[in-house]
Every structure is written in C-alpha cells, then in structure tokens.
Structure 1
Amino acid sequence: MFFKTVEESIELCDGQKDSYSTDPLLPSTPTQRTFDYVLVAHVVNDDTDQKAQRQRAFIQQLEKKKISVTRIVHDDKVFFGLRAPSEMFEDYQYLLKVSDSCNWCGDERGSVTQATRIRMVNFILQHTYINTGENLEELLMKHVFETMFCLHERKKQKDLKKKWARWSGLFTEQPFNDIKCYFGEKVALYYLWLGWYTKLLVPAAALGVLVFLYGLAFFNTNPLITEVCQSDIIMCPRCDKRCTVWQLSETCTYAKVSHLFDNEGTVAFAMFMAIWATLFLELWKRQRARHVSQWKVYDWCEEEEELILEIVNDPNCQPKQFRHSYLRSTLVLILVTLMLMLIIGLAHALVVFRVVAAPLMSEGKWDFIKDHANIVAVILGAVLHYLTIQIMTRVNRWVSLKLCDIEKTNSFAATERSFTVKMFTFQFFTLFSSLFYVAFFLGRINGHPGNYVRIAGWRLEECHPSGCLTDLFIQMAVIMLLKQTLNNIFEFTGPWLKNSLSRNHAKKLERKCGHCYRKACRDEQGRVEPCDICKLRDWLRNYHLANTDAFSLFNEYLEMVVQFSFTTIFVAAFPLAPLLALINNIFEIRLDAIKMVRLERRLVPWKTNDIGVWTKVLEVIGVLAVIANGLVIGITSDFIPRLVYRYLYGPCTNGSTQTHCMQGYINDTLSTAFMTHQAIKKDFGLEQMVLNGFNVTQCSYRDYRSDEDYALTSQFWLVLAVRFAFVILFEHVVVVCKFIVAWFVPDNPTQVKNDRMHDKLARLKEEIREMKRSKSTEV
C-alpha cells in the first residue's frame, strides 16, 4: 500500500500537508473530511416520479462503486456530497506505476492530491450509467439533476488570490507550479502559453509603434499628402443618382490617415511579424518542454491515462474501438462546406450593406454624414460585422457540437480536438471573410465609367484615391477594439454580478456555521465531522459561483488564438495591432485568473503535456500570415505602384533633383472620363454633373486606363507584373527565413534532454534494485 489512508496522506504538490478547510470559523486540521464532488437536484416529493427514480438509481450506482454519498436538503434543492474510497486511488497509483508512459508522473508517485481525486471522480461520474442506459450528461439534459461541481479548496484558493488573482499583480510573475497543483496541467499550460505570448508581443508592439511614428514624422511634409490636400482635380461620382462629382482635396484627412499605415516601414514590419510568428512558436515549444519536464508529464500519454481511469471505474471494462466511417466523414465534409458557404454569404451581405449605405447616407440630413458617407459606411459595416460575429459564434458552436456527434469519436479528447478544428475554422471564416473582401477585392471589380459593375442595380464601392488599405485598417481597428473590450466586460461582469448577489445568503450561513462548529464532534478516527450547516455553507458558496464546463478553457484559447490571427495575418494594414493585443493580454491574464479563482466554480484539473491541437492551428496561422501579408503589401497597398512610379515614371527618372521623386504620383494613378450628356445619364443617373454651380463634363477615377476607349494601359500591366513578382519574392524569402528559424531553435532545450535521461536511468536502476530485493526475499 502506498499510503495509510487517503484522508491522512493528501499532500500539496510541494509535499506539505494540506488542511482542507482554512475557514476562519473552522480551525484547520489535516484530518478534516472533505468532498470530491457535489450533485444538485430539485426536491421531488413524489417517489413514483420518474425524475426521483432516476436520481435514486444513479446514486445507487455510485454507492455500488463504494462512493460515499451525503444527502442534505436545503429549500427546494437537495445536495449530494460525494467522496470516493481510498482503495480506488490505490488501484490508480498502482496502474500508474506499471504503465509505460507515466512511470514518473510527478505528484502521482507519492500521495494523491485533491486535484487528482477530482479528476478521477469526474471521470467516474461521466461513465456511470443507470439501468435505462443514461449517464450523468443525459440526466442533466433531462433535468434529473440540476448541476454538478467540484469544490474549491479554501486554503489554496486563498493563496492563489494573494499570489496571482488580484489586479495589483498585473506585472508580477505567474505562479505556474501553484496553478498546476490547483487547476491541473491543462490550465497551467494555458497561462504559461498566454504569458509567453504576451512577453513576446513586447518587441512586436515596440516595432509597430515605430512604424506608426515613422508615418507620423512625415505627416505634413509627404508630397503625396500635399498633392491630395492641394489638388483641384474633380473626381467622378461614387454612386448612382444620389451622388455627384467631388474634389479630391475633400479627402485630405483620409489621405493623411492612409499614409500612417501605408508607408515603406510597413513592408519590413510585415516581414518581421511573419518571422516573429515562427520564432514565437519555436520558443514556446522550448518553454513548454521545460515546464512539462519539471512537472514530470513529458512522457504522459492521454490514451493510457484514460485506460487507467476506465479500469479504476470498471475492472471489467472493454477498450473503446477506433472507428472510421467514410459515409460519416463525407456527410461531415458536406455539412462543413455548406456552413462555410453560409458564412461567406453573410460576408457578401455585408458588402451589399456597404454598397447601399454609402449612397443613402450621402443624401441624409446631417452635413457631416453627407460629406463623409463612405467612411461612415465603412465604420457601420465594421460594427455590423462585429454583431454578426457575436451571433455566428453561438451558431458555430452549436453546429460544431452537432458535427462532432455525427462523427462519434471514441474519447473526450478526440471530441475536443475535432470540435476545436471545426469551431476555429468557422470562426476564422466568420471573422476574416469581410476582411479578405476589403483587402483583395474592394475597388478591383467595380468597373469604370461606361461599364460599372452593379449588385441589384447598386454600384460596387470604390477605393479611395489614396489606396484601399485604410478601409482594411478601419475594419480591423473597430473589430479588435470592440471584440476585445466588450468581450472582456461581458466575460467578467456576468460572474461578478452572480457572485455579488449570493453574498448576503452566504453571510447568514457563515454565522450559523460558526455557532454549529462548536458542537461538531470527531469520529472514531479523529476526523472532524462538522454539522450539515457547515457542509452546506461550503457547497452553497461553490454552487452560487458561475458555472464552468468542459469547454470553458476552450473559450479562452479561442479568444486568444483569434487575437493572434488579427495580430499576424493583416498586420501590414494595422501595425498597432500587436500593441492593442499586448495591452489587452496584460489585463486578460489577471481577469481570467480572478474569474477562475474567485468568481467561477473550480475547473476539473485535467492532466496534459501540451496545448494540443492549438499548436497546429498556430502553425497554420503562421503560414497564412506570410501569404496574407505578402498579398496585402503587393496587392492592397500602394507600395508597388509607388515603387514603379519612383523609378520608371516619376521626375527622378530623368535625373531631376529639383522636385521630389514622388511628385505627381496621385495624378498618375488617375484616369480621366470625358462625359457626354447621354453618358452622364447612363452611368450616374444624372441629368448633368454640377460642382459649385458649374457644369462638369469630365471627371477622374482611380485606374490605369486610356482616356479614349478605357483600355488598360501598359503601366497597369507593368504594375501588375511587379505586384505578383513581389508577392512571390516576399513569400519565398520569408518562408526560407521561417525554416531557418525553426531549424536554428531546437524544440527541446539541452537541459530538458539531460534531465529526462537522468530520470530514465534512475527509474531503470530502481527497477533492478526492486528485482534483486524480490529475489532475495524469495530465497
């Protein structure tokens, strides 16, 4: 036997004894009994009621497994306190000792921690069936039981509040070992990953700010901005019937904002961020290896752990068979495709909204909106996109769960991986479909005077003469600010309000418990047996906290990985994205910590040695970042047209040093349309074009076309060729740099390899010593 009794030998991860209650009203004692889980149900007075019968049947099944059940009725609810027997953990430890991958599984080699007890009892609860074939999940869905939860340990909870879950600790190091001991390796690795991601955002944010300041330094002296602000060029109407001609100088502010994010520094920054994404992942793998090696779970195997728990739960269990159905896979693939088509269709609806909103607002009552109809339409489109994201997030979750049900995976871990891939795919398309349209299609398929492209009679929107990158910047800025700010507010205030409302009731029970404890007695083994009020007080304290489930941690990962996508994929359009992410993450770490420790029920302390499929997702995002940033710089921004103009068409091509090399660039990117009365009526639905009381018969539009027949000029084809050449060159250079970085930075530090070798050697020597002792005993 590995220990005397579980009650007398539960230890902290550092080997110190843990008293289960450090409540100020209850003196701490290492022998006080505690509970592993609590089930809650509504009181049913009718014994013939089906719910009551199923409740009894489930409790009886637990008692058959020698799980002790304490029943306490409070108001209209009945609470079942569950505690597993010590023999169950003895079996678990023995199987762990003889398994292939868990010979050195950290705390499990000694006494069993409360985190391990919770994990095992949770598994047993999920795999206990009544005679109707229903398990606890189905009973919860049918409201036989209201909820289930494990209890916070008051002493460790208090320590975590002091060390970690407080706003005053924003810039202090996180106690990863304490987090691991209390919440398990799975939660600890999330905070380890988030902390590492936040640290590496510092250089990215600093460089992004420098790029922004570079654009700001030439804010008033840049010849392109001066050319727009002092221009007398008359531009063609942006829409039909409701719009008229306008002067290019009206968009002076827009041109200034464009230059802040579309300058020469953007190219270098995009290359840096693509390489940064790879460096971050490689360094993260090293960081992970160090910690999982210290926690002795480096060789931990998910499948073997689940088999051990299956045997502990039912010694006569049969292994779940791996299954694969081409029919189910085909059905899932078809449904995923249909879902993606729906999401892309919503992106098209947002495009239509922008197309319709701009001309409608241009004839509104307010002068400001009329003068800035296009910008207002872009901002409203971004806000509507955010609302669509919130709605589709719930739809995507429901669809992903249903698709996982169709697949019928053989374990919870496999279901979690499948759900993660589907949910992220749906969220990615929901978030980025509209951004991809703005980045790569806006202003490139709208046509030209005499042949405009229309949707339901409405003309497609055009890019601003200063470029399309500002539209992409506005979309990203609105979505990132709204998503991060509002999500954090809702994520924190919900649990906080629920916790605040339950405090008054808890204080009454605290007073009753203090009086009751003085009458508490000890059993034959010296363990404290507090009265029902004291037990109930602790259960209700946990009951009134915000609920958590198997996918609670998934929500945190999804939020951060989506942010990582915004920070890397379109960073060329928004260099301040890493700064916003850094500021958000500094608060996000403490917000999540306060929420988990103070405001939410305790998460099941799952064991793991990696962040799972999220690593693959991050690697895919890193590849997409290279492709997207290359396309944004080469196709969306004006970097290439400016480059071509500077060296082939600008004033410096003739050796002139009297003028700036970019002088005349804006005029070079515009083509002129000479409009007859018939053409004006056909293209714009106007009887005549008027500006400041004068009739206008010609206007300019952004494109490289001939003034006579609207044919594309040779400059257009040259610029297009250079664009594609740049994209290919950019992506190949960055990909090569990524491979070099991945090769140069090993996944495992040398110290980790040496420590693992010493551990294996020590284990083998111990096996030899045990074999020899066994032989000597036999002799």
Structure 2
Amino acid sequence: MSVTSSAPPCAVPQDVLSVSLGQGTMVQGPPADNSGSRFTPLVVLELASNTNPEAVAWLLSRIRDQQQDGGAELLVEQLGPGVDAQEKENPNMFLVGATWQRLLSGAEDVGLFKEFNDGSMRGFTCANKHDFKDYQGDGDSFLSMAECQYIIKHLLDTLRARQETHIPGHSEVKLYPGKSIIRRLQSKGILVQVFPLHDKEELKRLSFSWYRKVKLSLQPLDDIRHYYGEGQALYFGFLEYFTFALVPMALIGVPYYLFDWEDYDKYVVFAAFNLVWCTVILELWKRCSASLAYRWGTLSRKKAFEEPRPGFHGVLGFNPVTGREEPLYPHAKRLLRIYLVSLPFVLLCLYLSLYVMMIYFQMEGWALSIHDQEPSFWTGVLLFIPSIIYAVVIEVMNLIYRYAAEFLTEKPPAGVFISESPGPQSISSEYNHLVLRVLVFNFFNCFASLFYIAFVMQDMVLLRQSLATLLITSQILNQLMEAFLPYWLQRRRNKKMMRKVQQRRTLEDKELPLAEQVRLEADMSTYLGTFDDYLELFLLFGYVSLFSCVYPLAAVLVVLNNITEVYSDAFKMCRVFKRPFSDPAANIGVWQLAFEAMSVIAVVTNCSLIGMSPQVKAYFPDSESQLILWTVAIEHSQYLLRQVQDVQSQSARRGADQGLFQPILINLSLGSGCAAAFSHWSVQGCNGIPAQSHLGDMPTCLSWSWILHCPMSVLSGHTGLHRPPQESTGPHSNTTALRPPNEGRQDHGGRTQALCPQPG
C-alpha cells in the first residue's frame, strides 16, 4: 500500500489505519512521502518527558478511537529519533493527521463556510459537498492546510472525559465527565505544546510574494489568510489600511512642517482635520473589515459558548446558560479580589507613572536652565536627553506592567501564594480583561505628560519636542525588540541545529529530515498572538490623533514605521515563530472598540486645543461662555455622528466584546461637563498663576478627572453588567490649535521649573 504524490497536501487515503502505539514504539508501514511518515503530518503534540507511559497510551487511544466511541478518530504516530544518538530528546512527541473524510466531517462540525457554486458563502455540509466550488472529489485544493490544522485542533479540543475520574498513571490529575481532556492536560503541565507544522514549499512562495521582495504593492491578504487564517490576515489588513489612511495626513503635514504658516491658523486647521480624520477612518475600516470577513466566510458564522479556560478553578456548579456542570467562582470573592488586589495594584502603577513624569519635568527644567545660561550646540543637544530617557523608561514600565497584568489575569505559576485562578472564566473574557488593564496603564503612561504639557504648562515648543522624542524612541525600541532580537535568537538556534544535521546529512540531501524539521519548529518561539502588535498600533494612533497638530511630521514617521512593521512582522511570522493555528475571526474584536475610545478622546482633545487657540478666541472677545458652548457643541456633534454611523454599520461589530469598553464611551460622552470646565480653565490661561494654585485649582482637578476618570470605572475589568459566558466562533448557521510657539525659550526656564512640583 502506497500513497501517490498526487494526493492533496492534507489528504490521506481512506484505507490508511493507525496502529496501536505504546511507549517507545514506532508505527511501521509504507510512508506517504519521503518524510518517513505513513500519512501527511499536520499537527505536533508534545507531552512532558516524564509522562507516565500508561497516560501516553490512554491519550493516544482516545485520539484514535472512533467518533461514536468518544474519540477524535485521528491518525497519530510517534516522531522518530533525531540525528544525534547521544542527545537526550523528548520521546513523547507525536505527529497527528486525519483521513480526508474525517476532515470533511470536521469541516461541517466547526461550521466552515466555503464558496458555493452560485458564488455565495454557505456553511459546508458533507451532503452537499459536490455543490461547493473547487470540490473535485478527492478534495484537492478544497481545504487549505491551515483549515485542516484548525479542524484537527477542534477535534482534539472536543475530546471529553467519560467515566474516568483521573488521568491514568496520574491519580492527582482529576477528570470531570464531559470536560475537555486536552485543556486539563495543558493546565497540569502534562501536555507541553500543540502546534501546526509549516508547509515549506507554500511558506517559501508566500515569503517571496510578501516580504522577501521589496516592492510598492498591496499585501497578499488572501494568501496570508490561506496560510495563517483570518485573524492574522485581518491584522495585516488593518495595518495596511491604517498606513494608507495616514497618507493624506502625511501629505498635508509635510508642507505645514516645512513652511512657517503661523498666520494661516496652522494648528487650528490641522486640529480640525484630526477631528474628521480620526472618526472617518474607523467607520470606513468597519466596512472594509466586514467585506473581508464576508469574502472569507467568517462574517456569518454562528457563535458557540466557550468552556472554562485552562487553569480556571472553582467549585463545581451548574451553569444555567449552557446547562452543564462547570467550575464556578463565587461572585463576591471575585469582587473582593478585584477591589483588594487588582484595583490597588493598578492605582499604584498609575501613581508610579505620575511620579516618574514629575521627575521627567524636573530634568527638563534643569536642562532648560543650563541651556538658558550658556546656549551652545551641546546644551541644545542636552535639551533632548530628558525626553529620550523618559521615553525609554516608559517602554520599560509598559513591559513590566504587561507581565504584571498577565499575572493578575491568568493563573499564577505553581508555588505562588494562591493555588486557584479566580479570574475571567473563558479565554476570550480573559483576553479582554488583559486588554483593558494594559490599555489603561499604557494610555496614562504614554500620554499623561503630553496632556500636562499641553493644558497645564501650555508650552507648545516642549510639547512638540516631547511628542517627537517619545514617538521616535518608541519606534526604534519596538523595532529592536520585535524584529532584530527574535531574529538573532532564531539564527543561533538554527546554527546549532544545522551543525547537528550536518553530522549525518549526505551531499545529496537538500532538505532537513522530518524529525529534525519538527524538532527545529518545536524549539522555535511560540507566537503569542496579535496583542502586542495591536497595542503598538493603538499607541501610534494616539500619538497621531491627539497631538499631531503641533508636530505635523508625526503621520510621516508613523507611515514609515508601519512600512517597516509590515516587513518585520512578516519576517517573524515566516522565520522566527512557530506556525499559529488559524483563528476564524470576523473583525479585529475588542481592539475596534479600543480605537473608537481613543478617537473619542481625540475629538475632545482637539476641540479643547482649538478652543485654546488665540485665533479662535478672537472671534469671542466678550463672552468666553459662548466659546465653551461652541467647543462642547462641536464635540457632541462629532460623537452624535459617530453613533449614527454605528447604527448603520452594526453588522460590522459582530464578535467584539462591547461590555468592557462601552462604559468608557459612555463616560467620555457624559464627561463634557469636565471638558467644558477644562476648556474654561484653558481659556483663562495660566501665566502668572503660582504652581500651587494650578495644582489645587478646581478646573485643573476637573480636567485631570476627564483624563483619568473615564477609564477608571472599568479599571479593574468589572463593568457592573451581568452577561452570559463569552462566545467564540463555532458551528455554522445560515444567517447570512493652539497657542503659537513662543519666539524663544528664554522665558520657559523659570515657568517650567515653577510648574513642576517636587515628586511625591
């Protein structure tokens, strides 16, 4: 029995059967190709090296068992030894595949949408498989390798405990009837990792069309989606869209920056442009996202309730929504943990961020005083040193807080002070809470100093310098951390592996053996998702939309950064990280609401900056109240326009968890009283008022409450809304301006130092 080379990349002949495996045994049989495997391997499953052989045999039997017997009905074999016989390798690495008929039935189970013969997108069913486009009987090119791997992952995740009370050979690992076996093994450290294999030929073609050839063209989004799935393709689609959306602002910003157009209301015009830009681009993106999701068949996919995430522990109780027994954590204890642990920690981090900001202003005042006393080239360079140091400290604090937020959200490691994880119950809820915590801190840490400079100090020269330094420094550090460091580490691993391979490779060999390729991919870094990528874009969007009117080159710098980001992210996906499983997303999820929250803040900020402009105040020489009312009216009209557009494009919001970020949007709209007081205080000006008066003035408190209070109501991740468990994709359904910069900096030294209170 042999398999011809014309078989589809993820297909296996129906007559290929798996053989009973024991610890340390190999499946014998005719290979499907020159890799030595009896079938085309799609997924690798690695167990801990000290796993009891009885547990290994039990798990493999459950994977091979027929579906009607509670098994996954998949093909599995043990990975062969490596090239170095003396090396201590983990023997518990297994290759997983499936027959073609099992993949088709799995495609129906997961609700995969494919193109019908009439051009519409419909949920796939085995009964009507011949009515779908590109189905040719043998399945060639009908299911992509990414779809096959996603189906196998789904089938592994649906392995449920039956009558077993514990894992065989591991009596301490309890099992509950109907609960996921794979998630239980992951939470207990028995299952080390499950990852899909790369297709070397397809990856080579994708790399050449994506990043290996520098050219001015659109990204191959369909090819990215075909290889990595919809979630990754939507991220790169949003990155591309964001880059093109910045081009008009960049084209306008260059002449504004190069020519002195102060007499033409330079900053007012640019701030007004920001008002429209930050609102329009997000609404247009929702339509673009919905179009992509429909074309890829994820827009109409129905949702299914998620199971508790791995590592979530609680008393076994009855879930009235799903009708199943699940571990539940008491709501009172959850609130107690939020308000006594999470919230104080977040507030402490915000205080430390404020403390560091005050130190930065002290350093800025010190550098400015030196430059005012003896102006020279080197003292001019010294003016930028505090901003550079502050930018580096911001990046370090953001990184530290990220790990701390993950610690508070996920289950703590073994041996830490608590033994159970009372955080969010589902994986998507856990992710949304992590996004919320990190965004609140990053927003305050990155933008608080800019708000202070703009509205308290009203020093537009310092604001421009600080914005430029923060933006450029953060971009350089991100490129170093995200591209060059992983690339260097991966090259070290590759060289080490290649030295081992050369010991047994003949001159005729042109490719790595399957065993070495699998072990090489197993040692690669695990791709942690698009969280950090979206967070970086969120902060860049904030820099551009909030204060770019004082530094028009901000959009140009972000465009250049995004272009390099496309190539660096593509390189990491293809060369540095393991291949991730496909994520059938319909949109960018909770990040859409995060960007909308930032755009609301940008509208209020730019309206306030316009109201502070001397050119605008000249139109209201006798009544500051009218100026305040007009400023608030413009802000409200922008928010009303946004709500009307949201109603018209409600379908583009599917899949986003609005419960977490809706209070932010509501508080921002209701916070116009704070914005009005803020505008009134800004109109008064701050010249001649002592620093103590400023920091104790009520309008100042109101303005800071506008900055801080809005996200504070959801700081802990608790919204006060009672919602059913989080959902994820599942089975299908048939539902188809400003004060102009001062002429010199000589008068800033005393005022800057006066307005910078001592830290603490």
Judge same fold: TM > 0.5, yes or no.
yes
Q: CA deviation at 1:418?
A: 2.8
CA distance in 1, matches of 2:352, 2:466: 16
Q: CA deviation at 1:164?
A: 0.5
Change (3 A) 1:107 1:632: farther
- 2:78 counterpart of 1:78: no
User: 439, 442, 454: which is aligned to 1:424?
Assistant: 439
What does 1:190-589 align with in structure 2 at a 5 Å threshold?
A: 190-214=235-259, 216=260, 264-303=265-304, 319=324, 326-327=331-332, 328-329=334-335, 331-332=337-338, 335-354=341-360, 356-357=362-363, 376=382, 379-381=385-387, 383-403=389-409, 408-441=423-456, 443=457, 467-504=458-495, 505-506=497-498, 509=501, 512=504, 534-549=513-528, 552-589=529-566
Change (3 A) 1:608 1:99: closer
Tell me the equivalent position of 1:724.
628
Residue identity opposite 1:72 in structure 2: G
CA distance in 1, matches of 2:36, 2:271: 57
Q: CA deviation at 1:585?
A: 0.6
Residue identity opposite 1:197 in structure 2: F
Q: TM-score, normalised by structure 1?
A: 0.62
Contact 2:306 2:426 in 1 (8 A): no
Task: Write out per-residue CA displacement over residues 274-330 of structure 1, whole angstroms, 9 at most, x where no aligned residue.
Answer: 2112221122122122222221222013427989xxxxxxxxx97576979652246
Contact 1:198 1:582 in 2 (8 A): yes
CA distance in 1, matches of 2:196, 2:584: 16
Aligned length: 564
Task: Write out per-residue CA displacement over residues 134-161 of structure 1, whole angstroms, 9 at most, x where no aligned residue.
Answer: 8767766876565543211112101101
CA distance in 1, matches of 2:516, 2:363: 57
Q: CA deviation at 1:611?
A: 0.9
Tell me the equivalent position of 1:154.
200
User: 101, 104, 112: which is aligned to 2:122?
Assistant: 104
Tell me the equivalent position of 2:150.
119
- Describe the SS at the equivalent of 2:304: helix
What does 1:677-696 align with in structure 2 at a 5 Å threshold?
A: none
Contact 1:126 1:137 in 2 (8 A): yes
Contact 2:81 2:515 in 1 (8 A): no
Specify the structure having the higher radius of gyration (Cα).
1
Percentage of pairs with the same residue? 19
CA distance in 2, matches of 1:719, 1:368: 44
User: 19, 39, 44: which is aligned to 1:38?
Assistant: 44
CA distance in 2, matches of 1:398, 1:127: 32
Q: TM-score, normalised by structure 2?
A: 0.63
Q: CA deviation at 1:410?
A: 4.3
CA distance in 2, matches of 1:736, 1:609: 26
Higher mean C-alpha deviation, range 332-341 or range 591-600: 332-341
Contact 1:42 1:77 in 2 (8 A): no
Residue identity opposite 1:160 in structure 2: L
CA distance in 1, matches of 2:538, 2:47: 37
Change (3 A) 1:289 1:616: same
Higher mean C-alpha deviation, range 388-397 or range 482-491: 388-397
Residue identity opposite 1:95 in structure 2: D
CA distance in 1, matches of 2:506, 2:48: 27
Change (3 A) 1:7 1:369: farther
CA distance in 2, matches of 1:493, 1:122: 31
CA distance in 1, matches of 2:409, 2:187: 19
CA distance in 2, matches of 1:152, 1:471: 50
Change (3 A) 1:100 1:537: closer
Q: CA deviation at 1:119?
A: 2.2
CA distance in 2, matches of 1:546, 1:591: 15
Identify, as 1 or 2, the structure richer in helix: 1
Contact 1:513 1:534 in 2 (8 A): no
Residue identity opposite 1:210 in structure 2: P
Q: CA deviation at 1:623?
A: 0.9
CA distance in 2, matches of 1:98, 1:488: 36
Residue identity opposite 1:83 in structure 2: V
Tell me the equivalent position of 1:687.
none
Higher mean C-alpha deviation, range 587-596 or range 405-414: 405-414
Q: CA deviation at 1:378?
A: 7.0
- Describe the SS at the equivalent of 2:94: strand
**What stretches of structure 1 of length at least 5 have no aligned partner?**
13-25, 45-49, 223-262, 308-316, 444-466, 519-529, 649-717, 749-761, 765-779
Q: CA deviation at 1:646?
A: 9.4
- Describe the SS at the equivalent of 2:95: strand
What does 1:592-611 align with in structure 2 at a 5 Å threshold?
A: 592-611=569-588
User: 173, 176, 197: which is aligned to 2:221?
Assistant: 176
Tell me the equivalent position of 2:595.
618
- Describe the SS at the equivalent of 2:206: helix
- Describe the SS at the equivalent of 1:297: coil
